[in-house]
């Protein structure tokens, strides 16, 4: 994984746009946010169940669990609670809890049947959740891209001064990623929901410093590294300066 850029205190997001390194200009595209089909389906709808199965395959392909499992232990302090936003069916949280990272989940969907005992599950809207102040660490896997820039700005304000670490893994936005997913996903048995949502998710993904800019992270207060990994992966680690 090769860092594009580390924000330094002299960078002012109010005066300059986030650089968009990491993707060939031929494959760049404007960020757009459209509704995802999975979000509009009942939790137990067969198409939703199949699509969540597809997402587990995508996560294995992206090595998301491995990346979070490798990244967080060196950054989370002993005893710190971690909040996973958009925790979904709980695979990432359960993976991290097994590695002694104290993760609680936040999602609109109900608590997964196999969610580890002793860890909280908040069934609430990420945008209106009032408990961010209890969590010094916030993580998200394939969730930040689902929000508009306005919603991300509000989320950044809601996370608040009590949070010192934000870690995210998201789609890297490019036409090449869309073409690759359109070619590979049917071979993996992906259904129409997944094929639609994959295209929409990539179009709503991030480049360069777009995610921390959208969250309103002041470089004087945060040390931020945004990086890319193939195929089509965008990752951010943001640590509040002491």
Residue 51's SS3 state is: helix
pLDDT tens digits, one per residue of 210-228: 999 999 999 999 999 999 8
DSSP string, 173-217: P-HHHHHHHHHHGGGGT--HHHHHHHHHHHHT-B-TTHHHHHTT-
User: CA–CA separation, 125 vs 193, rounded Å?
Assistant: 22
Q: What is the pLDDT of residues 196-210, one digit of tens each?
A: 988 999 999 999 999
Give pLDDT tens digits for 99-138: 999 999 999 999 999 999 999 999 999 999 999 999 999 9
Rg for the chain, CA atoms, rounded? 17
Task: Note the pLDDT of residue 148.
Answer: 95
**Predicted TM-score of the model (pTM):** 0.86
Closest by Cα among 220, 210, 215 to 166? 215
pLDDT confidence bin for 43, thresholds 50/70/90: confident
Checking if the pLDDT of 15 tops 60, the result is: no
Largest CA distance in the chain: 51
25 — pLDDT class (breaks 50, 70, 90): low
What does the CA dihedral 191, 113, 106, 75 come to, rounded to 10 degrees?
-100
**pLDDT tens digits, residue range 130-188?**
999 999 999 999 999 999 999 999 999 999 889 999 999 999 999 988 998 889 888 88
Cα gap 193→163, rounded to integer Å: 34
88-120 per-residue burial string, b: 16 or more CB within 10 A, e: under 16: bbbbbbbbbbeeebbbbbbbebeebeebeeebe
Whether 5 shows a pLDDT value over 70: the answer reads no
CA-based nearest residue to 27, from 152, 205, 192:
205
Structure tokens at 14: 């109010």
* pLDDT higher than threshold 50 for residue 27: yes
CATH architecture, domain 2-240: 3-Layer(aba) Sandwich (3.40)
> SS3 for 223?
strand
């Amino acid at each position: 994984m090769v860092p594009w850029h580390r924000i330094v205190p002299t960078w002012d997001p109010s005066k300059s746009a986030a650089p968009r390194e990491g993707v060939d200009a031929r494959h760049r595209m404007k960020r757009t946010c459209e509704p995802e089909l999975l979000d509009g389906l009942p939790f137990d709808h067969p198409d939703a169940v199949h699509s969540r199965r597809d997402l587990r395959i995508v996560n294995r392909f992206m090595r998301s669990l491995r990346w979070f499992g490798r990244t967080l232990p060196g950054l989370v302090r002993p005893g710190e609670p971690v909040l996973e936003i958009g925790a979904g069916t709980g695979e990432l949280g359960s993976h991290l809890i097994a590695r002694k990272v104290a993760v609680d989940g936040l999602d609109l969907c109900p608590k997964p049947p196999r969610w580890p005992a002793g860890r909280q599950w908040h069934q609430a809207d990420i945008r209106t959740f009032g408990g961010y102040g209890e969590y010094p660490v916030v993580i998200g896997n394939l969730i930040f891209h689902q929000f508009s820039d306005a919603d991300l700005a509000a989320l950044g304000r809601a996370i608040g001064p009590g949070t010192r670490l934000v870690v995210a893994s998201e789609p890297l936005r490019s036409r090449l990623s869309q073409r690759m997913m359109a070619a590979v996903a049917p071979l993996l048995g992906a259904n129409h929901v997944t094929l639609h949502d994959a295209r929409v998710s990539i179009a709503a993904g991030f480049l360069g410093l777009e995610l921390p800019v959208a969250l309103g992270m002041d470089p004087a207060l945060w040390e931020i590294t945004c990086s890319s990994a193939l195929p089509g992966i965008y990752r951010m680690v943001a640590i509040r300066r002491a």
